[in-house]
Amino acid sequence: MMPMSYFIGLSILMFAMGILGVLLRRNPLIVFMSLELMFNSANLLFVAFSAYHHVLDGQLFVFFVMTTAAAEVAVGLALIVAIFKAKRTIDLDQMSSLKG
Amino acid sequence: MSLFEIASVHPFFQLVPLVVFLPVLGLLINLLVGKYLGEKGIGAVASLATGGAFAVAVLLAIGLGQVSEGATLTLANWMTVGDFSVNWSFRIDTLSVLMMLVVSGVGMLIHIYSIGYMHSDVRHNEDPGRFRRFFVYLNLFIAFMMVLVSSDNFLMLFVGWEGVGLCSYLLIGFWFEKGADGIGNAKAAKKAFVVNRIGDFGLLIALFLLFHNFGTLNFAEIFEQAPAIAAAAPGAIMAITLFMLLGVTGKSAQLPLYVWLPDAMAGPTPVSALIHAATMVTAGVYLVARSQALYVEVPAAQNIVMWVGALTAFFAATIAVGQNDIKKVLAYSTISQLGFMVTAVGMGATVAGMFHLTTHAFFKALLFLGAGSVILGVEHGHAQANQHAEHGHDSFDPQDMREMGGLRKRMPLTFIVYLLGALTLAGIAPLAGFFSKDEILAAANEKSIAIYALLTAAAFLTAFYMGRQLLMVFFGKPRSVASEKASESPLLVTLPLVVLALLSVFGGALNLPGSHILETWLEHTLEGVTPGHFVLTVALISLAVALLGLLLAWLVYGRKPSFENGQPDPLRKPLNGLFTALENKWWVDELYNTVIVRPYDAVARFSAGVIDQGIIDGLINGMGSMVGSLAKAWRRYQNGYVRSYALTIVVGVVLVITYLVLR
């Protein structure tokens, strides 16, 4: 069996990539993908620890996260379509109408 | 008692709520559909409403003639708090019914008069639309006055007390945009209201004390317990009666709160007659008469009431001598006569006080309405004079007696009734005023020689200033084009004058020495009433004093023509500085201004400017602007980019985790 630290390291890597993607990219589709990356880094840890401790709770939780992620993507894509219809662009830098 | 029970006492007694509800009905009709009724219709509705109340009062009086102890009708429960309960009850007894008769009787005549008077007045003041409003107010006043006199407890009395004060305010300020600088009348109304507030404050305190000491506000219960409580806590009764006196000085225009009444003459003349002479201002006298059971327990308070009344009677009479406005003279005369009444009820001579109240209502209403008729005539003359010649001076004052003169030929009927009224007020036998004033003087003679002397001096001055007024207004030669062209008022105006004149002449019959009708009438309600006896010397002295006053007035004003071409008042020379003092009303208004109004103003200005706007508003505004500037600084971080919010969250999470790890 692979050492636990591999999973944790990979998860940290994925999460960091996700954060950077969300913070730096201007294309909302890429941002979404980065978000998925973060979700899945969490999922990876859930599953890894579940196997490590021989408890099923973690795996169970992953399903919830996946469901939530799916729903979130559905809403997110719909938002993007709506925004595109209104603004004719999906560049995230153009979307600051809520500034104070 | 309820409506059904009271019918078994006497069938007429169940009508008593109508004395309030008929005027209310009248005012509702005028308020809702008066627009379509026309002036005659409005006047008829209002007069009929008051006349109906008068008819009910007459029926009540007939009922009382058979069941003299009267009854109390409970219409509704107002409030019940624990053991304390206040009802809207009508007390039918000889005192309240006497007041109802006076209020509605004189009120009805004044309503009729007002139809004619206001017809001209609204046109003179160029707003005919206010005709209806006037009658609505007038009916409202009658309703509140009825609440006041018919109440069986102090709280309902207070409701009426405040209500009539409100009506007084509304009617003084009836032409609120007129008067000096366009706010003169509004100021007069405000003054009346504020001064009355001071008095009402006293009455309120008296009510609180009554409730505290007696646990009830019901007349019958309080008067029953009064001797016991007075024995246990004499100080409490003393305080109650004195605070009540403060209320009386406010409403009945006694020293030191009389100052509002002369200014109240800013109202239309029928208002001066009804509210500020005949009825509302007598509410204080009624209150003391009603609370006689409390006053007899504390002779010291009685003495104070008596002195306040006597001093007012004399003081106001002196001022009346120096006035040139026809209504101001009558106003000070009213204050003086109210002083007589207050003295009487203070001495315990309640019947004499109520007697004078009744006759005074007749002849003072007559005098005021007569003055109104004179004013109408002079205004009419002024209008005519201006029609022919263009040179009319705009500052013309139709109430200035110096501009009148010789009106007896132009307005003969008004002259005759005014003469009768003036002689009645002066106390010439056998007119009504002679008997009522004499009864007070006789009682004062027994009580205290100083009071007697003061009142006699006041009576002398009364005769003098009435003689002066008669001579200035009706005799001599006309001193202005307006009075030269003055014309007699219409029948609607003069008819009530004739009725009131008859009442003034024969009103003395109410309580003639020997018959004492009013005495026997009131003794069912008032305890310890003894027939005032007729003292021949007192009567002769008062008659002599009255004649002397009139004679002196004739010597000064009648013998040779005065005031021709702006001559000064013939009294000015012999009296010199004193006359200036009288003319300026002893500078009481100025004194109050300096001592009370200005410092109060300064305090108010300080509270409003420094404390309210400075400190309190400063605190609130400071907090507001602090939040504002904080928000302004922070809004830079609300830049609308989701990414930077996310960054904030990330940084936050990192910080929290760092803290948790390194802890």
**Interface contact A92-B640, CB threshold 8 A:** no
Burial class of residue B395 (count of CB atoms within 10 Å of its CB; 0-12, 13-18, 19+): exposed
pLDDT in tens, A52-100: 999 999 999 999 999 999 999 999 999 999 989 988 888 888 888 877 6
Q: Does A3 touch chain B (CB under 8 A)?
A: no
Domain A4-88 has CATH 1.10.287.3510: yes
pLDDT digits (tens, 9 = 90+) for A47-58: 999 999 999 999
Q: Look at residue A62 in the predicted model and tell me its pLDDT.
A: 94
**What pLDDT score does B604 carry?**
93
Report residue B413: phi and psi, to 5°.
Answer: -65, -45
Angstrom distance (rounded) from CA B514 to CA B462: 27
Write the DSSP assignment of B437-462 as a string of letters.
Answer: HHHHHHHHHHH-HHHHHHHHHHHHHH
**SS3 category, B86:** strand
**Is residue A22 within 8 angstroms of chain B, CB to CB?**
yes
- pLDDT surpassing 60 at residue B390: no
Is residue B642 within 8 angstroms of chain A, CB to CB?
yes
Window 607-636 of B: residues touching A by CB (8 A cutoff) are 634-636
Distance from C-alpha of B455 to C-alpha of B171, rounded to nearest angstrom: 32
The two tokens of residue B396 are: 């013309």
pLDDT over 60 (residue B646): yes
Element (H, E) at B84: strand B84-92
Report the SS3 class of residue B75.
Answer: strand
pLDDT per position as a tens digit, B448-483 = 899 999 999 999 999 999 999 998 888 888 888 888
On whether any CB of chain B is under 8 Å from the CB of A92, the answer is: yes
Could you tell me which residues are beta bridge partners of residue B109? none
Instruction: Look up residue B305 and give its amino acid.
Output: V
Q: Is the peptide bond before B256 cis (omega within 30 degrees of 0)?
A: yes
Nearest-neighbour CA in chain B from A53: distance (Å): 23
Q: Where does residue B60 fall: left (phi above 0), alpha (psi -120 to 50 degrees), or beta otherwise?
A: alpha
- Using CB atoms within 10 Å of the CB of residue B28, give its burial: 0 to 12 exposed, 13 to 18 middle, 19+ buried: middle
Length of chain A: 100
Does the distance separating the beta carbons of B638 and A95 come in below 8 Å? Answer: no
Tell me which residue of B159, B136, B134, B137 sits closest to B148, measured CA to CA.
B159
Inform me whether the C-beta atom of residue B650 falls under 8 Å from chain A C-beta atoms.
yes
* Helix, coil or strand: residue B244: helix
In this complex, is the C-beta atom of A99 within 8 Å of any C-beta atom belonging to chain B? yes
Cβ–Cβ under 8 Å, residues B166 and B138: no
CA atoms of B463 and B548, how far apart (whole Å): 8
Q: Cα–chain-centroid distance for residue B325?
A: 19
Output the average pLDDT for chain B: 88
Residue B490's pLDDT is 85
ipTM score of complex: 0.85
Contact in structure between B146 and B23 (CB atoms under 8 Å): yes
Residues 6+ apart with CB under 8 A from B449: none
Task: Give the HSE-up count for residue B279: Cα atoms under 13 Å, Cβ half-sphere.
Answer: 35
**Given a cut of 60, is residue B213 above it in pLDDT?**
yes
Which residues in B lie closer than 8 A to residue A93 (C-beta atoms)? 641
At B101 the pLDDT is 93
Which pLDDT band holds residue B530 (cuts at 50, 70, 90)?
Answer: low
Least confident of B65-74, B338-347, B540-549: B65-74
B638 and A100 in contact by Cβ < 8 A? Answer: yes
Residue of chain A whose alpha carbon sits nearest to that of B633: A100
Q: What is the pLDDT of residues B248-291, one digit of tens each?
A: 999 999 988 999 999 999 889 999 999 888 889 999 999 999 99
Q: How far is B645 from chain A (nearest CA, A)?
A: 9
**B639 lies within 8 A of chain A by CB:** yes
Which residue blocks in B266-395 are alpha helix, DSSP H?
Answer: 269-273, 283-290, 292-295, 299-321, 326-347, 350-388
Question: Contact at 8 Å (CB) between B365 and B107?
Answer: no
Q: B402 falls in which pLDDT band (50, 70, 90)?
A: confident
Q: Tokens for B49?
A: 């409403």
Residue among B642, B644, B650, B654 with most chain A CBs within 10 A, to mutate: B642
Q: Using alpha carbons only, what angle is made at residue B260 by residues B254 and B263, rounded to the nearest 5 degrees?
A: 130
CA gap B418, B500 in Å, rounded = 10
What are the tens digits of pLDDT across the range B178-200?
888 888 899 999 999 999 999 99
pLDDT in tens, B296-314: 889 999 999 999 999 999 9
Query: Residue B487: its pLDDT value, please?
Result: 84
Whole-number pLDDT of residue B392: 45
For every residue of A25-81, which 3-state class applies, written as one string?
CCCHHHHHHHHHHHHHHHHHHHHHHHHHHCCCHHHHHHHHHHHHHHHHHHHHHHHHH
Lowest mean pLDDT among A14-23, B118-127, B158-167: B118-127
pLDDT of B221 over the 80 cut: yes
How many angstroms separate the CA of residue B201 from the nearest CA in chain A? Answer: 56
Q: Which residues on A lie below 8 Å from B649 (Cβ)?
A: none
- Please tell me which residue of chain A has the smallest CA distance to B648: A23
Instruction: Specify the length of chain B in residues.
Output: 663
User: Is the separation of the CB atoms in B145 and B279 below 8 Å?
Assistant: yes
Interchain pair B643, A98: CB under 8 A = no
Predicted pLDDT at B349 = 87
Q: What does the DSSP 8-state code read for residue A93?
A: G
Nearest CB to A96: which of B636, B637, B640? Answer: B640
Q: B635 and A98 in contact by Cβ < 8 A?
A: no
- For B638, which of A22, A92, A99 is closest by C-beta distance? A99
The continuous run of DSSP H or E covering B575 comes out as: helix B572-575
CA distance A32 to chain B (A): 12
Are B237 and B73 spatial neighbours (Cβ–Cβ below 8 Å)?
no
Per-residue burial over B103-119, b if 16 or more Cβ lie within 10 Å, else e, is bbbbbbbbbbbbbbbbb
* Cβ–Cβ gap B643/A100 under 8 Å: no
Confidence of residue B535 (pLDDT cuts 50, 70, 90): confident
**In this complex, is the C-beta atom of B641 within 8 Å of any C-beta atom belonging to chain A?**
yes
Nearest partner of B501 among B415, B610, B588, judged by Cα: B415
Please judge whether A96 and B643 are an interchain contact, meaning their C-beta atoms are less than 8 angstroms apart.
no
When scoring B635, B636, B641, B654 by the number of chain A Cβ atoms within 10 A, the one with the most, hence best to mutate, is B641
Structure tokens belonging to residue B323: 């006035």
H or E stretch at B87 = strand B84-92
Q: Which of B634, B639, B650 sits opposite A99 (nearest CB)?
A: B639
Residue % of chain B over a pLDDT of 70: 97
Q: Is the peptide bond before B128 cis (omega within 30 degrees of 0)?
A: no
Range among A33-37, B35-39, B392-396 with highest mean pLDDT value = A33-37
Which among A23, A98, A100 has the least Cβ separation from residue B647?
A23
Q: How far apart are CA B281 and CA B195, in angstroms?
A: 13
Q: Which of B640, B643, B646 sits opposite A99 (nearest CB)?
A: B640
User: Residue B598 — very low, low, confident or very high, per pLDDT cuts 50/70/90?
Assistant: very high
Task: Give me the phi and psi of B480, to 5 degrees please.
Answer: -150, 160
**Does pLDDT of B507 surpass 60?**
yes
- When pLDDT is cut at 50, 70 and 90, the band that residue B143 belongs to is very high
Element (H, E) at B111: helix B94-124
Residue B73 φ then ψ, to 5°: -110, 120
Q: Which residues of B touch A98 (CB under 8 A)?
A: 638, 640
Q: B639 to chain A: which residues are within 8 Å by CB?
A: 96, 99-100
pLDDT above 70: residue B391: no
Nearest Cβ partner of B643 from A92, A97, A99?
Answer: A92
**In this model, does residue B393 exceed pLDDT 50?**
no
CB within 8 Å: A95 and B635:
no
CB contact at 8 A, B139 and B50: yes
Q: How far apart are CA B385 and CA A70, in angstroms?
A: 100
Q: What is the DSSP string of B126-168?
A: T-TTHHHHHHHHHHHHHHHHHHHHHBSBHHHHHHHHHHHHHHH
The span from the CA of B98 to the CA of B537, in Å, is 30
**For chains A and B, what is the number of CB pairs under 8 angstroms?**
32
Q: Could you give the CA distance from residue B159 to residue B166 in angstroms, rounded to a whole number?
A: 11
CA angle A38, A39, A43 (to 5 degrees): 115
Cα dihedral sign, B363-B364-B366-B370: positive
d(CA B300, CA B336): 23
Question: What is the average per-residue pLDDT within B391-396?
Answer: 57
